[in-house]
Chain A
Amino acid sequence: MTLALDTTPRVRRTRVLPGFRLTLGITLAWLSAIVLIPMIALVSRAAGVGFDGLIATATDPRVLASFRITFGASLIAAAINLVFGSLLAWALVRWRFPGRRLLDGFVDLPFALPTAVAGIALTTLWAKHGLLGSIAEAQGWRVAFAPPGIAIALVFIGLPFVVRTVQPVLEELEPELEEAAALLGASRLQTIGRVVLPELIPALLTGFTLAFARAVGEYGSVIFIAGNRPGQTEIVPLLIVTKLEQYDYAGAAALAVLMLAVSFVMLLAINLLQTWATRRHAR
């Protein structure tokens, strides 16, 4: 289905295709209107606390504690998603079993369910009287209203990101490599570990980072299950809400900017990493 009319490498070719200015114009205008201008408003409001204020906010022990909780729980959740999400993607692509299509659809559920509903449902499930909560409680584990509860909510909302980034790459993977490895006498596990995994690394990284980035900002589902105790189960977005509650817009904006900066750096890093990986791959 591809017409190989042009076999010269893609270096600085003259633009035959139209619409570059138009589409880039639309993109930039829309991006500015919806993302950039509001973000500038946010940063300018945060400027109200000054640079010293920003540093003071960032180093406040309570803020630090909540950053630790937020990032810690997000990291754990993203790691869980990384392992199970890629397993799931593997099963969806490589195995044929009844209900596969249904499962494939199920994966997007966390995108679609309102976060608050997810939070309430998870709390119902994991609280003392809940189906799983009563089992956990009998073992002496507290899940809801404790850090594990936060991680569970974050696993839920981050799940589709890993599956959906790994899945297409697995589908595109050339089976010849694996066959060659098998012919050369590698066991299946060796093939997966030495041949498949390296190919998947960029996708795994992207999925992990997206799941992580999404988890860091999550509010709706977490507040129901977290317990919200300062220094123990209080997440950064809740601190922002707390600041707003005291009519401290500048303080809230300052915290928001801190979070935004972290997200931005993380996302830029994966995008660069991905370009680098693709380039290396293409060579």
Chain B
Amino acid sequence: MRAERPSLVDPWPLRIIAGLLIFAFVALFLALPLWTLFAQAFAKGTEAYLRAIDEPAAWSAIKLTLTVAAIAVPLNVVFGLAASWAIAKFQFRGKQLLTTLIDLPFSISPVISGLVFVLLFGLQGWLGPWLRAHDIQVIFALPGIVLATVLVTFPFVARELIPVMEAQGTQEEEAARLLGASGWQTFRRVTLPNVKWGLLYGVLLCNARAMGEFGAVSVVSGHVRGRTNTMPLHVEILYNEYNLTAAFAVASLLALLALATLAAKAALEWRGRTEIAS
């Protein structure tokens, strides 16, 4: 391990000052908000907590959130793989522009991410009247929520994969090709094993964000209780019903989902490291 090399060890005064700063920062901005969340969720005891979650509207919100993530994430995985392959393995003009366009959803205000689909598919928008005439519901239904989620989580997989694939270079794939492997075989046997950790990391982040998205989904959901409310929206509803304990309970469930995803990531990374080390 690098850190054990004596010339690389930071002197103790530096460590202590920096350590204290980091501790204060993490406590203030990560630990305390999380603690607040759980403290509020359990403010009225475990029973109230369970009651808040075991309720039809909460269940339908949980189901919808999982459904949306289960559709949006694979779509973005396919896209992310394609985009990173094209961008990392080939030189072409307009690459910077393409990368920037892929990054763009990071910085679009969630309000706008929802609004654009309303402008496109809403009854006053471009496609709305045609969709209504054919009785297809896009916004205020599952497809709209999925679209908004896909837009918000769009860059995560690609952004994770591009640097990894770039660092990998193209030699291995070229060697495989010269040895007679087909394109698909090359991708599956050479590229995929090389980038699988990056891919997994991207999938997990994408999934976490997909389940937690609030702003964009709120615009396209229609807020129909038990039908188009995702978990974050259900949290808002409970909050607006002065049911703060229940709101924080459902929110803590989301935090738990997120933490579980992160734990899965850590476990996989750990396995990955030992695999490489052996």
Check whether chain A touches chain B (CB < 8 angstroms): yes
Is A283 located at the chain interface by the 8 A CB criterion? no
Interchain CB contact under 8 A, B30 and A108: no
Is B262 located at the chain interface by the 8 A CB criterion? yes
What chain A residues lie within 8 Å of B104 (beta carbons)?
35, 260, 263-264, 267
Number of A-B pairs, beta carbon distance below 8 Å: 305
What chain B residues lie within 8 Å of A95 (beta carbons)?
3, 10, 15
Interchain CB contact under 8 A, B108 and A263: yes
Is A37 located at the chain interface by the 8 A CB criterion? yes
Is B203 located at the chain interface by the 8 A CB criterion? no
Interchain CB contact under 8 A, A16 and B174: yes
**Cα of A107 to Cα of B30 in the assembled complex, Å:** 8
Q: Which residue of A lies closest to B217 (CB)?
A: A114
**Cα of A88 to Cα of B2 in the assembled complex, Å:** 17
**Cα of A132 to Cα of B33 in the assembled complex, Å:** 10
**Cα of A132 to Cα of B27 in the assembled complex, Å:** 11
- Interface residues in A, total, Cβ within 8 A: 101
Is B274 located at the chain interface by the 8 A CB criterion? no
Interface residues of A in 115-171 (CB under 8 A from B): 115-118, 120-122, 124-125, 130-132, 152, 155-156, 159, 168
Contact of A27 among B14, B34, B86 (CB under 8 A): B86
Is A55 located at the chain interface by the 8 A CB criterion? no
Interchain CB contact under 8 A, A113 and B29: no
Interchain CB contact under 8 A, B109 and A4: no
Dominant secondary structure at the B interface: helix
What chain B residues lie within 8 Å of A220 (beta carbons)?
110, 214-215
Contact of B251 among A87, A114, A122, A217 (CB under 8 A): A114
Is B130 located at the chain interface by the 8 A CB criterion? no
What chain B residues lie within 8 Å of A115 (beta carbons)?
110, 212, 214-215, 232
**Cα of A130 to Cα of B32 in the assembled complex, Å:** 11
Interchain CB contact under 8 A, A120 and B239: yes
What chain B residues lie within 8 Å of A120 (beta carbons)?
235, 239, 247-248, 251
What chain B residues lie within 8 Å of A216 (beta carbons)?
107, 109
What chain B residues lie within 8 Å of A116 (beta carbons)?
214-215, 232, 235-236, 239
Minimum CB–CB distance for A110 against chain B, Å:
8
What chain B residues lie within 8 Å of A244 (beta carbons)?
115
Interchain CB contact under 8 A, B109 and A217: yes
Q: Which residue of B lies closest to A89 (CB)?
A: B22
**Cα of A152 to Cα of B30 in the assembled complex, Å:** 11
**Cα of A182 to Cα of B8 in the assembled complex, Å:** 8
Interchain CB contact under 8 A, B110 and A31: no
Interface residues of A in 220-241 (CB under 8 A from B): 220, 236-237, 240-241
Chain A residues within 8 Å of B, Cβ to Cβ: 2-6, 10, 12, 15-20, 22-24, 26-27, 30-31, 34-39, 41-42, 45, 84, 87-88, 90-91, 94-96, 101, 103-118, 120-122, 124-125, 130-132, 152, 155-156, 159, 168, 175, 178-179, 182-183, 188-189, 210, 213-214, 216-220, 236-237, 240-241, 244, 249, 252-253, 256, 259-260, 263-264, 266-268, 271-272, 275
Chain B residues within 8 Å of A, Cβ to Cβ: 1-3, 5, 7-8, 10-11, 14-15, 18-19, 21-22, 25-26, 28-34, 36-37, 40, 75, 78-79, 81-83, 85-87, 89-92, 96-112, 115-117, 119-120, 124-126, 147, 150-151, 154, 163, 169-175, 177-178, 183, 186-187, 205, 208-209, 211-215, 231-232, 235-236, 239, 247-248, 251, 254-255, 257-259, 261-263, 265-266, 270
15 A/B residue pairs, CB under 8 Å, sorted by A: A3-B172, A17-B90, A17-B183, A18-B186, A27-B83, A31-B98, A34-B150, A34-B154, A38-B119, A105-B262, A114-B254, A125-B32, A179-B8, A267-B106, A271-B96
